[in-house]
Structure 1
Amino acid sequence: MEKLKYRTFVFFILSLRLNIFHSINFMLFLSPVVLCFFCVFSAGISGAACLWPHQLTSTMVTFQLFFLLFVSCTAVASARPPRHLPPCQVVQLDVFCSNLSLRGAPVNLPDGVQTLDLSRNQVQNLTQETLGYHTGLRHLNLHSNKIHFVQPGLFEDMTDLRVLDLSRNHLNVFGLSKISVGTLTAVESLDLSNNGLYTDMSDYFLADSPSLANLSLNGNSITKIAQNTFSGSLSLRTISLHNNVIMEIEDGAFDSLDHLTELDLSKNSITCITDFNLFNLRVLNLSKNSMELFHSAQSANLNYKLLSLDLSENKMHYFPLLPLNNVLEHLDVSRNRLQSINVTGRTEKKANLIFNHLRYLDMSYNQLKSIPECFFYCMRSLEVLNVSNNCIGSFSVSHQEVLKRVKIINLGHNALQSLTFGENTLQSLEKLFLQGNDLTTLDHQILRRLPGIKHLELQQNDLEICVSEPNRDEPTHQNNQDCVSFTSVPNLRFLNLSDNNLRSLPANAFANTPLRLLDLSLNPGLDMDKDSLSGLERSLVHLLLKENNISSLNTDLSSLRSLKHVDLSTNQLTAIPTWDKESSIESLNLQNNNLVTLEHSTMLTLERSLKTLYMGSNPLSCCSNVGFLHMVQHSAVVVPDIETVTCVHEEYSEPVNIEKVTEEMCHGANGPNYTIVIVVAFLVAVIVSGLLVRYCRSRKRKNSRSFSA
């Protein structure tokens, strides 16, 4: 009976073996645990077969089966288990499945999904099945997939779909089929950027888009905008064609778009606009092209709504010719090749420049040598003027109505040698940038004529500061034509005088001028009078004196009660300034000096207010800066450059990081001195003891003699 059961089981196993050979898919349905169970069970059968040697054949078959199952078990068990993808995030009716390696929408999504984010996945074919047959979507994000096919008519039934993002896919492959994607029934925003699309391919997506308002075609390979490119999308309000290869725009390409307000054509290959006539356009970006000419249609009856025009980074030699009746507020013609403000090279054309609404004008990085004052006559609303990085040698404003509302003037990095502002001019000016010029002097009254001036950049010039008395209006310098006065400027808060080759800073240099920030850096050899900062006791917050080659600071900084940030880095200081009063310093930079010992009392005073201290690259002594060591190791002061703060220890050949210094290291260094003191004290004690013993013995002998019989 047992033999019959055994043979029956072996037959079953053999049948199973044949099935395995004939159907490899069978193994896919067996888990590693079940296979291992068969392995163990077969091993047990093989062991039982050894009890009956006469059944050798059956045993061999069983052994072969065992071997086969063992190999299968090992292979399946060692195989990598299927990766369980993290589930999508579901927030009410919004589903976010970004970056999950999906090829389509997951099954079992909630009904009525309105937002579906499938960005950064592996979607290749966009069909109803891919989207899980969800037709009620309002926002569909398929950004950064591998889509190269879109089912025609897919979006016709999606009557609620408003936003569709198909950017960074392979829609150029679909474009080769020359099949329309069908009606975008309700789509208002469409992103087709970075898809490798070239000329006419966008037509297959825009041919029937009645509600489309916002379109992005950035980063494609479009070379031409045809007359009918947008004929199926008449509701467009914004179009972005940034970073294509557009060289040609056919006449009338945008004329049918009555609602178009923003057009971005930046970073293309457009060479000229000769008859600009988009009356309803409000924002036009033509930067980073090869523009040599910009002319708009000229007529007193044409009313343009253009507010912002960006023509920066082109090749224009002349100022753009803009319509007479304009409301332009922002004009950028920086980084061109302008040599004059003429619009065609002819002087008489200057009269056509009327910008009554212009608030921002940028003409920086050109080749302008001069700007006549009359250029600004019709700029009554101008607030920001940037003409930096040109070749301007002189600049003057003499009429009160010129630049009346201007708040910022940037004349930096020109060749200025002369600057003149008339009486009661530039009354609204708050910031004046004059850095990087050839200025050696300024009219003594020029800053006092600017009642609103708060910020003045004068670095990289060649100025000398006038000697002034605190109660006098005029400077007392022997040669008044060769210096600049900074006294009695009532609202000046920020003054940058770095890199001016200043040789001295006289007493009361900034009297009656409430500076909050003063930068005197990069003036090697600067000699500061002990009263040079008098008058700034209550106002000065930031003081920068870096890279001045200062060996000692005579000025009393402790009198500056509002001072919080001081930069004394990269000098030759051998001692830190003394603070003999309560300190308000929060940040102190002493990097790259010659500091060996830091005054203990000064460090204790600073520690009360100090929050940040820079001390790197100084030859500090390890055991002569107890106050600083305590500050670093026990206070709340932060030393951001602590890794570069080292000190010199006589027992070490290399500088030691300040964080590794211990009290034992310093006591050890003084050990030999203590030993000598102890030895000397011991010898003295022995000598004194010997003398006392001798003295006592001598006294005893005398006493014994006086009482002898």
Structure 2
Amino acid sequence: MGPCHRVLHPLSLLVQAAMLAEALALGALPAFLPCEFQQGGLVNCNWLFLKSVPHFSAAAPRGNVTSLSLLSNRIHHLHNSDFVHLSNLRRLNLKWNCPPTSLSPMHFPCHMTIEPNTFLSVPTLEDLNLSYNSITTVPALPNSLVNLTLSHTNILTLDHTSLAGLHALRFLFMDGNCYYKNPCRGALEVAPGALLSLHNLTHLSFKYNNLTAVPRNLPPSLEYLLLSYNHIVKLVPGDLANLTALRVLDIGGNCRRCDHARNPCVECPHNSLQLHPETFSHLSHLEGLVLKDSSLHTLSPKWFQGLGNLTVLDLSENFLYECITTTLAFQGLARLRKLNLSFNYCKRVSFAHLHLAHSFGSLISLEELNMNGIFFRSLNENTLKPLTHLPLLHTLHLQMNFINQAQLSIFGAFPGLHFVDLSENRISGTSELTVTTGEGNDWEQVQLWSRDLALAPLDSSGSEDFMPSCRTLKFTLDLSRNNLVTVQPEMFSNLSHLQCLSLSHNSIAQAVNGSEFRLLTSLQVLDLSHNKLDLYHGRSFTELPNLKALDLSYNSQAFSMQGVGHNLSFVAQLHTLHFLSLAYNDIHSRVSQRLCSTSLRALDFSGNAVSRMWAEGDLYLHFFQGLRGLLRLDLSQNQLHILLPRTLDNLPKSLQLLRLRDNYLAFFNWSSLVLLPNLKVLDLAGNQLKALSNGSLPNSTQLQKLDVSSNSISSVVPGFFALAVKLQVVNLSDNALKTIESFWFGPLAGSLKTLDVSANPLHCACGAAFVDFLLEVQNAVPGLPSRVKCGSPGQLQGRSIFAQDLRLCLDEAFSWDCFGLSLLAVALGLTVPVLQHLCGWDLWYCFHLCLAWLPLRRGAHALPYDVFVVFDKAQNPVADWVYNELRVRLEERRGRRALRLCLEERDWLPGKSLFENLWASVYGSRKTLFVLAHTDRVSGLLRTSFLLAQQRLLEDRKDVVVLVILRPDARRSRYVRLRQRLCRQSVLFWPHQPSGQGSFWAQLGTALTRDNRHFYNRNFCQGPTAE
């Protein structure tokens, strides 16, 4: 280490210490990096691609951590010390870290290693999830464990020692350890009595494990036993003999109906699940029983004897299409509340009629009945007659039954009905039904495929800001996805109490005139979306005096017809209407010039072409102005390129929410927000804004939430948000911001509740100021440790902004400043001595001093000597020639090109051994010069030096040997003759004639200053090459 380095090293330490002190004075980093600490003591480390369990710093409040989630990482090895520092840890989720090969998305092999004391070191652990990990045995677990999940692993054996000592365990889940997605050679093996010592176990799940029998000697404390989708095809009373506390039993999918299977299926060997009549007789506490997908053709009343407490019964996906018309099995189930009979159809057959058995009338507590997919074509008063007197029945599912004739008036006879689902049928009208008793007309053969039987969910209600749901209303009828072409008043006779009606996804193409729904005097919500309505009459829907919400979205066919006008004046006559949707109708011309309503609170006008309407001069400028009580307006996807102040000025002054998502706005006049004095929420997401400029948010605005996500914003003017004192939520995510500055917000920053800056390409330069600002408001930034990432420089792209502490690394600008100051100091240090000597002699002396110094500058790796001279000191003529000829010529007479010679008697260090000096001389010189009187019988120091030079040739691939032979006429050895042939310039002979000595010294200088590789004869070899 040179003297300069010894001086600068303490200085660099001082600079780093100063930077560290400055960083510590700033806001503290999130305590649990790279994870996020959330409410309730949860540390969220999900989806961070971690390869080991993070060890949080001692400064973090590790004692507050009660839950740790490491879901979907790449942790393959768990050490004894991984969780020792979390003294209060209760819940640990390690799901999806090292999945079995067949469950891995790329089928990569993986094996998780768990050291013996990994979990034993956490005595407070209560909930452990190790599912979707490639483990083959149950690890050692603390006796405090209450909930254990080992699903989708490679554990195939449970014996008495597997869970020994877990006396507090109540929940055990081991699903999917042996099935078609996670195959094994046999099945999960549970030794008899393996779980008997778990006296507190109440929930046990062994689904999808290829079990062929119920495990023996299960603990009598069990309340929930889930054994679905195994291969248990027979049940006898002894299988469940001691489980008298059982409340829920799921044995569905053990004898499957393969024509309705959505995954690989094996035909049941006996064509039906074999149930002994007294299988469930001793389960008096049973409340839920699942017998779905069991290929049942009949129901034995004896199965349900003694099950007086049964409240939920699932009989779906069986063959009970005939049984449900005659069965007596339901007579003793007075407490049953939910009954599922879905998809009990006959293969390739749909029945003309369906009459439920009279025993359904005994289900006096029934609340919900599911009859989807039984396939009957007509619905009349006899179909559901046994259900009409059930006082608590409120939900009835009749989806996907191919019903083409429906007498809807029958639902008026049900006293407490709240929801009827007739969607996904073929209802087209209400023609009179003729009951046919002929056998030939009772059924119709149809071709069915598994995809036709998939249960389609109802349309999600989405945000209720613009359309309310019907969950809180007393009676809802869903007729969506049928074949209705027209709506006739007679359809709804006896349904005056109906409050919510869905007719979406039909083919209704009529021009509604105000008479179609006259019988529905209590209707509050009407959904006519995804139809072909023609809004021509001015009194449409005026027959509904209590209508509050009307959905007319996706009725674009009539609006797309060129030259046809559309009348929206009916809106003014709906005095109770609060919600209206005209979305995605491609409305652009030939409509009413104004919408008028004093009651309307929310209007969804998205997916139209209001930009074309406003382009027609003043024709539609006041289109929304008549909605004087409007609070929420959605103008998303209206092809807007610009929003002029006069356009905003003609929107209702009462607006509180304005949604302008997914338009083409590249400019927005922020000062025009004063024209909407009550606006609280402005949504500009998905536009083409490049910057938040053109002024700032006005100080008089009531704005509380601003969403400008998914734009291309790269800059924000200072103080843009500062004047909006009521602003609480700002969404800047998915833009092109490279920094987040505190002066954008001013004093407002401390009052923000949410500041979303995720998905921005932040520039993570050293000393980035945005890090300090985000740390100050970190409670308002969602996903700060994991979702806020760097976009540059390249080595940090896509990584968290806390991947390295940007406050401690050296700032590039600061480094350049230091370099400039040091350069100035050096310049002054050289200039001052010159100024002290003004005479020419001093200048001349300094010039030549520098001129003499410059050629001698060498790199940090330069060798101390140019030539190590080896000769036999015992030969006086040779020694005399070396000291008086060679030394003088090479060191004294070459001037600035003088060579540094290493001579034994002059340059070897006393106190070192001969070999140490010899090694240092050979390896510390660019060339090794051998001065020989003859070439035979070389020994001693000459021989050793030659061997070291040869060793250097082998190690460093550098040929450093140069031979000078003082007696040319002496006998030459074979090595010298070979070297002459291969590398002639490295073998020189001292001429006896004085005329040849000048040429000799020139050749010697060349041989000593150039690499020997250049001297090799290319006809024989290429010489040594460096690696």
TM-score (norm 1): 0.66
Q: 1:330 aligns with which of 476, 480, 490?
A: 476
> Deviation of residue 161 (structure 1)?
8.6
CA distance, structure 2, for counterparts of residue 515 and residue 392 of structure 1: 29
Q: What does residue 426 of structure 2 align with?
A: 315
In 2, distance between residues paired with 1:385 and 1:155? 51
How far apart are residue 284 of structure 1 and its match? 2.7
Residue deviations 1:130-176, cap 9 Å, x none? 689x8xx9x96443266554446999999x99956353374786966
Could you say if the C-alpha distance between residues 88 and 330 of structure 1 is closer, same or farther in structure 2, counting changes exceeding 3 Å? farther
Amino acid at match of 1:276: T
Relative to structure 1, the CA distance from residue 183 to residue 250 in structure 2 (aligned partners, 3 Å threshold; closer, same or farther) is farther
Following superposition, the deviation at residue 432 of structure 1 comes to: 1.7
Q: Alignment partner for residue 266 of structure 1, among 365, 372, 376?
A: 372
Which shows bigger deviation, 675-684 or 530-539?
675-684
Say if 1:270 and 1:673 are closer, same or farther in 2 by CA, change over 3 A.
Answer: same
Match of 1:280 among 386, 389, 392: 389
Residue 634 of structure 2 is matched in structure 1 by: 496
- Paired with 1:603 and 1:180, the residues of 2 have a C-alpha distance of 74
- 2:575 aligned partner: 427
**Runs of at least 5 residues in structure 1 that lack an aligned partner in the other structure:** 1-78, 343-348, 468-476, 695-709
Q: Contact 2:702 / 2:724 at 8 angstroms: preserved in 1?
A: no
Q: Name the counterpart of 2:585.
A: 437
Q: CA deviation at 1:199?
A: 1.3
Distance (Å, rounded) in 1 between the aligned partners of 2:158 and 2:302? 44
Offset, 1:350: 3.9
Rounded Cα–Cα distance in structure 1 between residues aligned with 2:602 and 2:628: 12
CA separation of 1:515/1:654 partners in 2, compared to 1, >3 Å: closer, same or farther? same
Give the Cα separation in 2 of the matches to 1:671 and 1:297.
Answer: 85
Distance 2:360 2:618 in 1: 64
Aligned residue type for 1:337: N
Q: 1:101 to 1:618 in 2, by over 3 A?
A: same
Secondary structure, counterpart of 1:608 in structure 2: helix
Change (3 A) 1:169 1:423: closer
Deviation by residue 1:22-72 (Cα, 9 ceiling, x = unmatched): xxxxxxxxxxxxxxxxxxxxxxxxxxxxxxxxxxxxxxxxxxxxxxxxxxx
Give, in angstroms, the shift of residue 434 of structure 1.
Answer: 1.8
Q: For the structure 1 residues 407 and 550, does the alpha-carbon distance in structure 2 shift closer, same or farther, using more than 3 Å as the test?
A: farther
How far apart are residue 500 of structure 1 and its match? 0.4
CA contact (8 A) 1:600 1:628 kept: yes
8 Å Cα contact 1:195/1:220 also seen in 2: yes
1:75 match: none
Residue equivalent to 1:460: 607
Partner of 1:167 in structure 2?
251
2:813 partner letter:
A
For residues 573 and 251 of structure 1, the distance between their equivalents in structure 2, rounded to whole angstroms, comes to 62
- Structure 1 residue identity aligned to 2:360: L
Q: Residue 340 of structure 1 corresponds to which residue in structure 2?
A: 486
Contact 1:551–1:571 (Cα < 8 Å) also in 2: no
- Partner residue of 2:673? 533
Deviation (angstroms), 1:311 = 0.9
Give, in angstroms, the shift of residue 413 of structure 1. 1.6
- SS of corresponding position for 1:534: helix
Residue 669 of structure 1 aligns to a residue in which SS?
helix
Residue type at the aligned position of 2:524: E
In the other structure, the counterpart of 1:403 is 544
Q: Provide the residue aligned with 2:773 in structure 1.
A: 631
Change (3 A) 1:545 1:81: closer
Q: Distance in 1 between matches of 2:299 and 2:834?
A: 115
Change (3 A) 1:355 1:321: farther
CA 1:504–1:294 in 2, change beyond 3 Å: closer, same or farther? same
Distance 1:250 1:215, change over 3 A: farther
Q: Percent identity?
A: 18
- RMSD over aligned CA atoms reads 5.2
**Aligned to 1:240, which of 340, 343, 351?**
340
How far apart, in 2, do the equivalents of 1:126 and 1:80 lie?
14
8 Å CA contact retained: 1:540, 1:560: no
- Of 550-559 and 498-507, deviating more is 550-559
Aligned counterparts of 1:669 and 1:458: Cα–Cα separation in 2:
52
Question: Could you say if the C-alpha distance between residues 395 and 389 of structure 1 is closer, same or farther in structure 2, counting changes exceeding 3 Å?
Answer: farther
Task: Report matched runs for 1:241-256 at 5 Å.
Answer: 241-246=341-346, 247-248=350-351, 252-256=355-359
Asked if 2 retains the 8 angstrom alpha-carbon contact of 1:230 and 1:253, the reply is no
Change (3 A) 1:498 1:662: same
Residues 165, 190 of structure 1: 8 Å contact kept: yes
- Measured against aligned partners, the alpha-carbon deviations of 1:512-568 in whole angstroms (never above 9, x if no partner) come to 533333221222145434543224455413433432344554363243654343222
CA offset digits 1:341-399 (Å, max 9, x no partner): 25xxxxxx847645211111111111122352211111111111111112224265627
**Aligned AA for 2:549?**
I
2: CA distance, partners of 1:560 / 1:321? 65
After the TM superposition, which of the residue ranges 177-186 and 571-580 deviates more from structure 2? Answer: 177-186
- Note if 1:608 corresponds to 2:750: yes
Contact kept in structure 1, 2:664 and 2:688, CA below 8 Å: yes
The alignment of Structure 1 onto Structure 2 pairs a total of residues equal to 579
Gaps of 5+ in 2: 1-156, 175-188, 256-267, 434-472, 560-565, 839-1027
SS at 1:505 equivalent = coil
Q: Deviations over 1:219-273 (max 9, x none)?
A: 3343433543235626556532023335559865423433445432113433433
What secondary structure, in the 3-state scheme, does the structure 1 residue paired with 2:743 have? Answer: helix
Q: For residue 601 of structure 1, what is the amino acid of its counterpart?
A: F
Partner of 1:563: helix, strand, or coil? coil
Give the alignment of 1:515-554 within 5 angstroms. 515-525=655-665, 527-551=667-691, 553-554=693-694
SS across alignment from 1:532: helix
Q: In structure 2, how many angstroms separate the alpha carbons of the residues matched to 1:182 and 1:663? A: 70
Contact 1:144 1:167 in 2 (8 A): yes
Query: Which of 546, 560, 563 is matched with 2:703 structurally?
Result: 563
Tell me if structure 2 keeps the 8 A contact 1:357–1:381. yes
Please give the residue correspondences for 1:67-82 in structure 2 after superposition, counting only pairs within 5 Å.
82=160
Q: 1: distance between equivalents of 2:389 and 2:584?
A: 42
Cα separation, partners in 2 of 1:583 and 1:665, compared to 1, 3 Å:
farther
Contact 1:219 1:242 in 2 (8 A): yes
Return the offset for 1:216. 2.5
State which drifts further: 216-225 or 201-210: 201-210
613-622 or 80-89, which moves further after superposition?
80-89
The 8 Å contact of residues 738 and 761 in structure 2, kept in 1 or not, is answered as: yes
Q: Is the 8 A contact 1:575 1:598 kept in 2?
A: no
CA apart distance, 1:406? 1.9
Contact 1:621 1:647 in 2 (8 A): yes
Q: CA deviation at 1:645?
A: 4.0
CA distance in 2, matches of 1:289, 1:400: 30
Query: What TM-score do the two structures reach when normalised by structure 2?
Result: 0.47
Partner of 2:292: 194
Match of 1:181 among 267, 275, 278: 278
- 1:470-489 equivalences under 5 Å are 479-487=617-625, 489=627
The match for 1:205 is 303
Instruction: Verify the 8 A CA contact 2:761 2:792 in the aligned structure 1.
Output: no
Deviation at 1:202, TM superposition (A): 5.0
Deviations 1:91-131 (A, max 9, x none): 9xxx8787695757976999xx9x9766548997789x968
Compared with structure 1, are the counterparts of its residues 150 and 521 closer, same or farther at alpha carbon in structure 2 (3 Å cutoff)? closer
2:143 is matched with which residue?
none
The match for 1:364 is 504
2:516, 2:163 → 1: CA distance?
A: 66
Contact 1:148 1:174 in 2 (8 A): no
1:635-681 per-position Cα deviation (integer Å, ceiling 9, x unaligned) = 525264766643656x9898997544735766433544554467569
Q: 1:293 aligns with which of 405, 409, 421?
A: 405
Q: Given the alignment, which residue of 630, 636, 646 partners 2:790?
A: 646
Post-superposition offset of 1:436? 1.0
In the TM superposition, 1:53-64 aligns within 5 A as: none
CA, structure 1 residues 166+605, in 2 after alignment: closer, same or farther (shift >3 Å)? closer
Match in the other structure for 1:579? 721
CA distance in 2, matches of 1:210, 1:652: 68
Q: What is the rounded CA distance, in whole Å, between the counterparts of 1:309 and 1:552 in structure 2?
A: 50
Q: Aligned ranges for residues 12-27 of structure 1 at < 5 Å?
A: none
